[in-house]
Amino acid sequence: MNITVVGTGYVGLVAGACLAETGNQVVGADVDLKKIEGLKRNVLPIYEPGLDRLVERNQAAGRLTFTTDVGAAIAHASVVFIAVGTPPDEDGSADLRHVLAVAEEIGRHMARETVVVTKSTVPVGTAAKVAECVARNAKYPFHVVSNPEFLKEGAAVDDFMKPDRVVLGAETDHARSVMAELYAPFVRTGKPIIFMDVPSAEMTKYAANAMLATRISFMNDIANLCERVGANVDHVRKGIGSDDRIGPAFLFPGPGYGGSCFPKDVKALVRTARDQATCLRILEAVESVNEDQKHRMFQKLMSAVGDDLQGARIAVWGLAFKPNTDDMREAPALTLIEDLLAAGATVAAHDPVAMDEARRRLAHAGDRVRFASSSYDALDGADALAVVTDWNEYRHPDFGRIKQTLKRPLIVDGRNLYALHRMADMGFTYHSVGRPSVAQ
């Protein structure tokens, strides 16, 4: 099948490479010349485990190509995926300008009956707007499909190749037939392709992310209460997660959720509700709790180091919003670092893969943020260590080396990586999330 994916960001690049892997002829189109030239040389604009090998292999086999000629790429295809960005506007709504601009291009350049697939995360009603834009210039029949993505950053290739479900909003037999054929190789183990109407598919993506964000904020609220009453959130989490009606996923407290999906999608869904003269009170609270949670690590450091952080140096381990990605959009580490800088502290930061992105985002800080060559290098001369992202290499560090290098044996752990008894035995002052503090 001839497929074009317009947009070579996180969603589009993963989708294009995985669709090429199953034998399709895929063109990745983007107006960003620098990005396309890099992709032609197998230089990826994002870090995602396994994606580099997939792109390289399929380019070498001739199944995957990249171009800035969006019109020609559309003319090549019988299926066109729209996978461009939908950043939030100031009011929280999704910015659909790029999506609708691509739809206009599809109408102008399609050369045959075409299935137009919205892969970008878009609010309910977007498919109808896409159809209007395509129809203005279309000379051939077309079918608009909503195909929301459910990829986890850090495991996106596996999620696409082995999905737990494929959601398709399709309302014509032709669209359902084409999409069923396209996704058949990915659901051979019996996972479902769920066909539904287009608005329901659009809502499903937002509802799924909103539910997961709700669980995170709920557990963060519970963790904060645990600290007040002397309970241990690790025990609470296991106790409630063992209930089959609840389950264990997304019950880990932390420094707040970030990334490209949860913050943006919660805001967009809240805005959609307001536009419909209603409100999603739970989600409004979820958003508020998350914003507050992002400042909790700073508050813990203030309390532990002293109310005046002027001149203090804090080591920060982990900059990406989660492990196995270099994505720093809405990352809790950014909030922590900005809070520290505002209080007069300096920062020594380390992350296994997000250092280049961090340098770009924190360029305004100048030499007040030092980017360490290793996790242990970040500790040199620091008054405390803040653990923000749960990368594997931070899970079992050399605690003796940490204690020897820090000015004082103080760790504020936003991910609850370390056992309380181990911290006590090693002589650390240790603060985590929703668990009793260890004080020396």
Beta strands 384-387 and 313-317, pairing class: parallel
| Domain 205-292 grouped into CATH 1.10.1040.10 | yes
The identity of residue 439, as a single letter, is A
More confident residue, 344 or 91: 344
Phi, psi values for residue 59, rounded to 5°: -65, -45
pLDDT of residue 91: 65
Supply angle C-alpha 90, 93, 99, rounded to 5: 110
Phi, psi values for residue 80, rounded to 5°: -120, 120
Residues 258, 260: Cα–Cα separation, whole Å? 7
Whether the pLDDT of residue 375 is over 90: the answer is: yes
pLDDT of residue 48: 93
| Residue recorded with tokens 């999330």 | 433
Whether the pLDDT of residue 417 is over 70: the answer is: yes
With cut-offs at 50, 70 and 90, classify the pLDDT of residue 400: very high
Whether the pLDDT of residue 307 is over 80: the answer is: no
Q: Which of 133, 226, 261, 279 is catalytic?
A: 261
pTM of this structure:
0.90
- The token duo for 179 is 């999409």
Q: Shortest CA distance to 155 belongs to which of 297, 83, 50?
A: 50
With cut-offs at 50, 70 and 90, classify the pLDDT of residue 306: confident
Is 279 catalytic? The answer is: no
Whether the pLDDT of residue 360 is over 90: the answer is: yes
Complete DSSP assignment for 314-333: EEEE--SSSTT----TT-HH
Q: Do domains 2-196 and 294-431 have the same CATH topology?
A: yes
pLDDT of residue 16: 97
User: How far, in whole angstroms, is CA 405 from its chain's centroid?
Assistant: 33
With cut-offs at 50, 70 and 90, classify the pLDDT of residue 123: confident
CATH class entry, domain 2-196: alpha beta
Q: CATH for 294-431?
A: 3.40.50.720
- The token duo for 119 is 């892969």
Tell me the percentage of the chain whose pLDDT exceeds 70: 99
* pLDDT tens string 202-226: 999 999 999 999 999 999 999 999 9
Q: Domain-by-domain residue ranges, the chain?
A: 2-196, 205-292, 294-431
With cut-offs at 50, 70 and 90, classify the pLDDT of residue 399: very high
Supply angle C-alpha 70, 36, 155, rounded to 5: 105
**CB–CB of 133/100 below 8 Å?**
yes
Tell me whether residue 308 is exposed, middle or buried, using C-beta atoms within 10 angstroms of its C-beta: 0 to 12, 13 to 18, 19 or more.
Answer: exposed
* Mean of pLDDT over the chain: 95
pLDDT of residue 90: 64
With cut-offs at 50, 70 and 90, classify the pLDDT of residue 261: confident
What's the whole-number mean pLDDT along residues 170-198? 96
pLDDT of residue 293: 98
Would you mind telling me the total number of residues written for the chain in this entry?
Answer: 440
Complete DSSP assignment for 331-371: -HHHHHHHHHHHTT-EEEEE-SS-HHHHHHHTGGGGGGEEE
* pLDDT tens string 79-115: 999 999 877 766 667 788 999 999 999 999 999 999 9
pLDDT of residue 8: 95
Mention every residue, 6+ apart, whose C-beta is less than 8 A from residue 359: 371
